[in-house]
Amino acid sequence: MYKEALRQVWAEIDMGAFDHNVKEIKKHLGDVQMIGVIKANGYGHGATECAKVLEYNGCDHYAVATLEEAVSLREDGIGGSIVVLGLTPAVCADTVVEYGITPVIMSLDYVKALGEAVAEAKKNGTFATAANCKPEEYEQKCLFALDTGMGRIGYRVFTEEERKYAAEQYKEMTKVEGVKVPGIITHFSTADEEQREYTGLQISNYNALIDLLAAEGIKPKKICANSAAIMVYPEVHFDAARPGIIMYGLAPSGYLKGKVLDLKPVMSVKAEILNLKTVPAGTSVSYGRKFTSNRESKIATIGLGYADGYTRLNSGKIEVLCGGKRCPVVGNICMDQCMVDVTEVEDVKIGDEIVVMGKQGDAEYSADDIAALNGTINYEVTCLFDLRLPKVYVNYPEGMCK
């Protein structure tokens, strides 16, 4: 039980499992550089703590979704390279330079704004707190974004005309003083699926642009592989790969679950029973009276609700573990609490531990189990639990400075 929390519900983050997963991925990638994706606060696991374990494993390249996330990591003392995978506006160019962040780019005007920000920062001496170089030597790094089939951000490269335009834009960006564009990045939309045709199309689109530049002697670093591609598309590991969900011990899809990598789930969600009562048959529970007991029942209350990411959509169909047994959550899930039928658990009492997600004895209730109930994915489940739950970090790698 977690006795130090101000609440009797928490997310337990097993840093030993995270360390194990990182080592598995690094072994699988070999000499390929690893960019650890710790966006969305490390998929709900805590970005800063995950960055520390990555650094412990010799990885000091990270990726986040927003500039705000990158700045937060810097302010927590995280050095190395931090890539922002989402687009940042020109108005934020000075912040990008000040904190030494690597943005993803698809606008020449934005790159020019970065160049101006570099010049201004060198003039004023206020920039790149994590650059590890002399101010006069600083160069702003960026990654050039391609849309090879995701349809989200980046220059489209489906046709010869589109590829020529993207190549010209890339070359123009590399001419901007104070800015370097060392790599070209894209993202796969179906690499986690059994069918390989569309990912093959995306790879062809990407390689066609790379070949166009290579014909002119231009050879940028190639950065393509997400978690799924790391697992099953070794031909696109290239210069660097960016694992995300697999670092947290979860598969990118049901198709890839249990394949290629030995992964250990990092997050568990646990709670203590706050209240326990025996009620007669015919007793209704929670808002709307959606559940009524059909027998004398033991009903436990835990302090977990939809404001904690335990969505109300789970009502009437989700289970938890108590005493090593699966027990149904009954009635509508409230904002801050929910109720569990623990009638089948012997000697249950207030203060006993409920496992909402994770293992208890031989029983397990996983992020995939929770996701399947509502037709979503394990990514969303762990991210939602980041809303309000306190985190307890356990089992750090031996010898690591926390």
Q: Has 39 been annotated as catalytic?
A: yes
Report in angstroms the alpha-carbon separations of 321 from 223, 310, 336. 41, 15, 19
Token pair recorded at residue 208: 């066609």
Alpha helices in 156-299 (DSSP H): 160-173, 197-214, 227-232
The residue whose two tokens read 């009620």 is 279
Contact, 180 vs 140, CB < 8 A?
A: yes
Same domain, 64 and 172: yes
Q: Which range marks the domain in which residue 152 is found?
A: 15-248
Q: Please tell me whether residues 38 and 98 are part of one structural domain.
A: yes
d(CA 232, CA 358): 27
Residues 216 and 332 in one domain: no
Same-domain pairing of 240 and 328:
no
Residue 122 maps to which CATH number? Answer: 3.20.20.10
Are 240 and 348 in a shared domain?
A: no
Give 193-215 pLDDT, tens digit per residue.
999 999 999 999 999 999 999 99
Rounding to the nearest 10 degrees, give the CA dihedral for residues 215, 221, 224, 229: 100
Are residues 239 and 271 located together in one domain of the fold? no
CB atoms near residue 307 (< 10 Å) = 11
Question: Concatenated DSSP letters for 8-77?
Answer: SEEEEEEHHHHHHHHHHHHHHHTTSEE-EE-HHHHHTT-HHHHHHHHHHTT--EEEESSHHHHHHHHHTT
Is residue 226 situated within a structural domain?
yes
Is 325 annotated in the active site?
A: no
- Residue corresponding to tokens 């209350």: 301
Closest to 30 measured CA to CA, from 257, 241, 260? 241
β-strand partners of 185 = 145, 223
The CATH code of the domain that includes 331 is 2.40.37.10
Catalytic residue (one of 287, 290, 349, 402): 287
Output Rg (C-alpha) for the chain, integer angstroms.
24
Structural domain contains residue 379: no
Q: Are 5 and 390 in contact (CB under 8 A)?
A: yes
**CA distances (Å), 86 to each of 186, 290, 321, in order?**
12, 42, 38
pTM for the full predicted model: 0.95
Which residues 6+ apart lie within 8 Å of 159 measured at CB? none
Q: How would you class 74 by CB atoms within 10 Å of its CB: exposed for 0-12, middle for 13-18, buried for 19 or more? A: middle
CB 248 within 8 A of CB 268: no
The reported pLDDT for the residue numbered 133 is: 56
Does residue 253 belong to any structural domain of this protein? no
Q: How many domains does the chain have?
A: 2
Of the candidates 39, 52, 222, 270, the residue annotated as catalytic is 39
Output the CA torsion 82→83→89→95 (10° steps): 10
Give the per-residue pLDDT at 107: 95
pLDDT string in tens for the chain (402-residue length) = 455 567 899 999 999 999 999 999 999 999 999 999 999 999 999 999 999 999 999 999 999 999 999 999 999 999 999 999 999 999 999 999 999 999 999 999 999 999 999 999 888 776 655 555 566 667 899 999 999 999 999 999 999 999 999 999 999 999 999 999 999 999 999 999 999 999 999 999 999 999 999 999 999 999 999 999 999 999 999 999 999 999 999 999 999 999 999 999 999 999 999 999 999 999 999 999 999 999 999 999 999 999 999 999 999 999 999 999 999 999 999 999 999 999 999 999 999 999 999 999 999 999 999 999 999 999 999 999 999 999 999 999 987 766
Last residue of a domain, one of 248, 275, 308: 248
DSSP readout, 288-355?
Answer: GG-EE-SS-EEEEEES--GGGT--GGGTTT-EEEETTEEEEEES---SS-EEEE-TTSTT--TT-EEE
CA dihedral 105, 107, 112, 118 (to 10 degrees): -20
Written as six digits, the tokens of 279 are 């009620």
pLDDT in tens, 354-371: 999 999 999 999 999 999
